[in-house]
Amino acid sequence: MTLLLDRPTRPATPPLRRDRRRWAWGLGAAAVLVWSLAGAGLFGADVLNPGGTAQFGRFAAAALDPAIDAAFLGLLARSALVTVAYAAAGTALALALGAVGALLVSRTTWGRRRAGWLAARGLLAVPRGLHEAVWGLLLVTLLGLDPWVGVLAIGLPYGAVTAKVVADLVDEVPRGAYRALRAAGAGRTAAALYGLLPPAAGGLLSHAFYRLECAVRSAVVLGMVGAGGLGYQLALSFASLRWEEVWSAVYALALLCLLAEVAGRAVRRRLAAPPPSARRDPVLTAAVVGTVVLVGWSCWYLALAPAALVSERTVAQLGSVLAAAWPPATDGDLLRTIGALAVDTVQMSVIALAVALPGAVLLAGPAARPAGDSSPGRRVAGTLVRAGLLLLRAVPPPVWALVLLFVLLPGVLPGALALGVYTLGVLGRLAAEATEELDPRPRTALTALGARPAGAWLYGVLPLAAGPVLVHALHRWEVAIRDTVLVGLLGAGGLGALLASELATFDWAAVTTVLAAVVVLTWVVDLVSDRARAALR
């Protein structure tokens, strides 16, 4: 039997055509990285300070010898409750705001009215552009000692992020069901409730738990700037450089993060593979009920009273701060400083990402839990890498900045590296999670044809993971821009340091200008990373 394909003439092989846009973005990123490293003085004078290894060693050695006296541990346990309460109440507020905000920024809402959609997105850049700590600083001048400060400082920026994520999720749901409902005469809201929300629900729940874990870390940063809880204890011990106590607080924080992560993981697993039963899933029900109870307890524990938000004093303080803050300062010196510091800020964030992204990609493999059985050695290695990443993100950036400054000379670099190792902790976890959720079949097939582990990873994992990891990385780049406020005061601080000093000297007009600059920078970064995402898709 002779079988021939219907190819009368053999087609010429087309030339290999490189995707110009992707190459342009790649080369552009490399150029920006070199520019940033040059700005950090890496190609110039010395950056290392070997004399400080003893100080760094003291910090590192204390990791093995944390303070464990009963009184201090009791203090930490009570502080952890405060941190949890702020995180839970803040997340709840963020989700509520996010749900409302998502309506405002969803393409579905705006339809073809693109200008309105762009304006709404721009509006969201304002709460998102300011770090939680900055929100805390601003709110304390309005609300004083009220616990709302901590809750709002988490809830407002997270609400804006959540709104964006929810809107993207809803917008990505296929339109068919929604259109059918609209065609059948359903109103917009009803159609969205029945046609758009159910398919997006899984992603939403998963995002909610991710936010909770982030909120725990944010609550600690807020604690460091005063909101009480673990971060407050950490700040006290950090100020007198009692590293043993700092590590105890870090371990307590790591434990909280781990709990949030484990809960989120259980929920995601259940959503991805629901048990084959018509009844409600007990794990999911418990998670939802537990969350509601936790939020209720948090509001009670923090003694949140809505009246405080609209009290006469708050209104009066708002009036006086606004009067002092308007018009913004526009003197040339300030604007020039802002310009120079914006450059520092961008360079710091780029270096931070350049540290975090390759690290995260390399560690994602070992950190991901293998789908099937695995050797004990592999499991131990995986646990160690995951624990390492957890500690990297549990040590707050200001602590990293100080201890790195022991072994590096002052400049952009210590702060950038501090953000880099912290971001590595976060991004490594996200990348590992993305790897776990990949289709395992391509890699299994490659192993089955005898490929080496490195080859199987290059051809079966990397191409699949690159997309989601890059999306996470671009998002963390935006976050790193805001986080420069945490590592700023030593050496070169970027806009964050300037903001902190203007706030310390109560120069409200200058504060307004710097805030505007930070928001614009965040917005530009958002725009650039949006374009980059589109090009890499």
Partner 1 sequence: MSSRRVARSGGPDALLPPLSRRALLAGAGAALAAAVTGCGRSAASSPAALHVGAVPDQDPDVLQRLHGTVADAVSGALDLEVEYTPVTDYAAAVSLFRTGDLDLVWFGGLTGVQARLQTPGAEPVAQRDIDRAFTSVFVVNTGTGLAPSDDLTALAPLRFTYGSETSTSGRLMPAWFLREAGVDPQGFPGGPGFSGSHDATLALVASGSYQAGVLNSQVWRSRTEEGAVDPAVVRYAESPPYADYHWLLGPQAAARTGVPDLRDRLADFFTGLPPGDPVLELFGASAFVPARASDHDRIEEIGRDLGLVS
Partner 2 sequence: MRYGGTTALAGVDLEVSPGERVALVGASGAGKSTLLALANGSVPPTSGAVRVLGADPAALSGRDRRRLWARVGTVHQALELVGRLRVVHNVNAGRLADWSAARAAWSLVHPQGLPEALAALDEVGLADRAFERTERLSGGQRQRVAIARLLVQQPDLVLADEPASALDPVLADRALTLLGELATARGGALLVALHDPGLVRRHCDRVVGLAGGRVVLDAPVAALSAADLAGLYGAAT
70 binds partner 2 (CB under 8 A): no
276 binds partner 2 (CB under 8 A): no
**Nearest distance from C-beta of residue 439 to partner 2, angstroms:** 8
79/106 with CB nearer partner 1: 79
CB 36 within 8 A of CB 477: no
- Contact region with partner 2 (CB under 8 A), list: 203-211, 380-388, 456-464, 508-516: 456-464
Query: Over the range 77-99, which residues count as b (16 or more CB within 10 Å of their CB) and which as e?
Result: eebbebbbbbbbbbbbbbbebbe
376 binds partner 2 (CB under 8 A): no
140/481 with CB nearer partner 1: 140
Q: Within a 10 A sphere around the Cβ of 242, how many other Cβ atoms?
A: 15
Of these partners, partner 1, partner 2, none, which one is at the site of residue 467 (CB under 5 to 8 Å by kind)? partner 2
Both tokens assigned to 315: 């209104």
H helices within 461-507, ranges in order?
Answer: 462-487, 494-504
**Nearest distance from C-beta of residue 258 to partner 1, angstroms:** 22
Cβ neighbors of 334 (< 8 A, separation 6 or more) are: 510, 513
* Cα distance between residue 77 and residue 258, in whole Å: 16
Pick from 490, 516, 528, 536: which binds partner 1 (CB under 8 A)? 490
311/447 with CB nearer partner 2: 447
17/20 with CB nearer partner 2: 17
Of these partners, partner 2, partner 1, none, which one is at the site of residue 446 (CB under 5 to 8 Å by kind)? partner 2
* Cα distance between residue 184 and residue 259, in whole Å: 46
9 binds partner 2 (CB under 8 A): no
* Cα distance between residue 142 and residue 309, in whole Å: 9
Pick from 254, 464, 473, 495: which binds partner 2 (CB under 8 A)? 464
* Cα distance between residue 270 and residue 275, in whole Å: 7
**Nearest distance from C-beta of residue 21 to partner 2, angstroms:** 14
* Cα distance between residue 14 and residue 326, in whole Å: 62
Degrees to nearest 5, angle at CA 105 with 524 and 296: 110
Pick from 118, 190, 201, 239: which binds partner 1 (CB under 8 A)? 239
446 binds partner 2 (CB under 8 A): yes
**Nearest distance from C-beta of residue 4 to partner 2, angstroms:** 8
326 binds partner 1 (CB under 8 A): no
149 binds partner 1 (CB under 8 A): yes
Degrees to nearest 5, angle at CA 329 with 328 and 335: 120
Nearest to 130 by CA among 100, 96, 106, 153: 153
406 binds partner 1 (CB under 8 A): yes
Binding residues for partner 2 (CB under 8 A): 1, 3-7, 10-17, 439, 441-442, 444-452, 454-456, 458-460, 463-464, 466-467
